Every structure is written in C-alpha cells, then in structure tokens.
Amino acid sequence: MEEKKITRKKFVITSLLGTLGLVAGELIRQSHSIDNIENEVDTENKKYGMVIDLDRCIGCNACTIACKQENNTPPNIHYNVVIEKEEGEFPNVYNSFLPRVCMQCDKPPCVKVCPVGATKKQKNGIVSIDYETCIGCRYCMTACPYGARSFDFGENYYDQPNTFEASPYQEYDKIYQRGKGKAPQNSVRKCHFCSHRVDKGELPACVTACLGKARFFGDLNDPNSEVSIKAKGSWTLKSNLGTKPRTFYLGEKRDD
C-alpha cells in the first residue's frame, strides 16, 4: 500500500461541538418575517438564502458529505456540520439535530476584521473568501460567532493525497487542485452556498443530496420563490448579535 494516511485527529464535529455547544445551548430565536429581509436587500440582484427545516432534519449528515466531495475539503474542515444533542431524562427525552452552514450574514463580522479585504460580501448575498488574497491571519475565524470558518492547514486524508483529493475541482469562480502551498491551503475556508453551482443554475450540493428534504435554497428577492415562502415564520441563530443571517431555520422551536 504505497499511500498512507496522515495522523488522524479527533473529528472536527467534536471540537465544533465545543464552540457550538455554546451556540446550540443559547440559541436565541426570533421570528423573522420575510418583509424585513426584503427591505434590506438590493432588489436589482438575486439575493440567495437558505432555509433548513429542523422538523425534517434527521441528522444523517448527507449534507456534510455532499459538501465535502463538492468542495474537496480536507480532514477536519466541514463547511456543514450537524450538531446533535440528546437531552432530558428517561423516558422524557428529546433529540435535536442542527445543521450549521455559513449564515452568509448581511452584517458579517468576519468581513469587517479582514485586514486585506479577502473576505467580502457579494451582491448576491454570499460572503466569499478570495483564497489568493487571504493571508491566513484567521481574525475572521475569531470574529465569526457561528464557528463557520476553519483554516486549511494543507492536510489530506492520506499522506499521498488519493486520486480524488488530488484532482481539480471548482470553488467560487476558480479551479483548484490540492498541492503543497497552493490555495486554498493556508487559507481560511467556509461554506459559500456553493456559489460555483449556483452560478450554473444548480442547487447547493447539500440541498441536492439532503435525505430528509429539509433544505431549501433560492432567491429571497423573488417573493414567489420556494425559499421565500419557506422563510416565512423562520428564525435565525443568535439573532441578538445583529449579524442578520441569510440562513434561516424552521421548526423545532423550543424555549431555551
């Protein structure tokens, strides 16, 4: 076996649960009417948004894996995670699954702190990272209250990256191929609503694969789009922070 895998670290979800355990614990939810959003958006453009229906999420992580193969993310980098939490006392038990992507905040704290302007709010609502400009300072990782960002240390699943890991793939409007020191290695990475797919008229990979059909994606500027309709009565994570997420949640409303 000529190729061997690198040392394995404890799965990132575990560590994210650390950061996000907090988030999950203190989710402050607020009903969000679609009208509010419309006022904020640039009506000339498409403004993308995602709605995740927690009543339909079964915690399967098909989204996590679909995203991994779409964006060829290395070990420990997951643009999408599903936070699972079992609570209560037998037999009154409650289990929740919370998929977390980048919220594509309309007031993104991550953008503000970037010293080189590598991370930007695009007109279509997506918060992007320019891997070539990113200097890897990771300020944005600290600034993001959702733990949506991670740093690509250049690790691969195998010491000698396997055929798939080493093959060209697309993110944003560029083609990348993993190789020593080449972007996106040494850059910060995160979910970008699969902007390269969306540009081609496709849905994000996680939405396409979702096993529970719990995820909806589209143009929030179009009041008739499925996602706009679904977004009615939705809520957002940590809405008290004023980040104005473009990722909305339905269902599982419980008083924390």
| Contact residues for ligand SF4, defined by CB under 6 A | 52, 57-63, 66-67, 70-71, 79-80, 82, 97, 99, 101-105, 108-110, 127, 144, 146, 148-149, 190-194, 204-206, 210-212, 214-215, 243
The set of residues, in sequence order, having a beta carbon less than 8 Å from that of 59 and lying 6+ positions away, is 82, 84, 95, 97
DSSP string, 44-75: TS--EEEEEETTT-----HHHHHHHHHHT--T
Contact region with another protein (CB under 8 A), list: 17-25, 42-50, 67-75, 112-120: 67-75
Q: Is 45 in the site for another protein (CB under 8 A)?
A: no
Which of residues 34 and 62 has its CB atom nearest to ligand SF4 in the complex?
62
Residue 111 lies near another protein (rule: CB under 8 A)? no
- Cβ 62 to ligand SF4 shortest distance, Å: 4
Burial class (CB in 10 A: 0-12, 13-18, 19+), 129: buried
* Shortest distance in whole angstroms from residue 166 CB to ligand SF4: 20
Question: Which option in another protein, ligand SF4, none does residue 110 bind, with CB closer than 5 to 8 A by kind?
Answer: ligand SF4
6/241 with CB nearer another protein? 6
Question: Closer to ligand SF4 at the Cβ: 5 or 65?
Answer: 65
Q: Mark 149-168 with x for binding to another protein (rule: CB under 8 A) and - for no binding.
A: --------xx-x-xxxx-xx
Q: Is 201 in the site for another protein (CB under 8 A)?
A: yes
Residue 40 binds to another protein (criterion: CB under 8 A)? no
How many Cβ atoms are within 10 Å of 244's Cβ, its own excluded? 17
End-to-end CA distance of the chain, in Å?
51
Number of residues that bind another protein (CB under 8 A): 73
Question: Between the CA of residue 140 and those of 46, 67, 101, 151, 187, what are the distances in Å?
Answer: 25, 21, 15, 10, 11
Q: 98-126 burial string, b = 16+ CB within 10 Å, else e?
A: bbbbbbbbbebbbbebbeeebbebbebbb
Please say which residue, 80 or 243, places its beta carbon nearer to another protein.
80
Smallest separation, CB 3 to ligand SF4 (Å): 26
- Choice between 67 and 111, CB closer to another protein: 67
User: Closer to ligand SF4 at the Cβ: 30 or 160?
Assistant: 30
Cβ atoms 70, 205 nearer than 8 A: yes
Sort 25 into a burial class: Cβ within 10 Å, 0-12 / 13-18 / 19+: exposed
Amino acid 177 reads Q
Helix/strand/coil for 197: helix
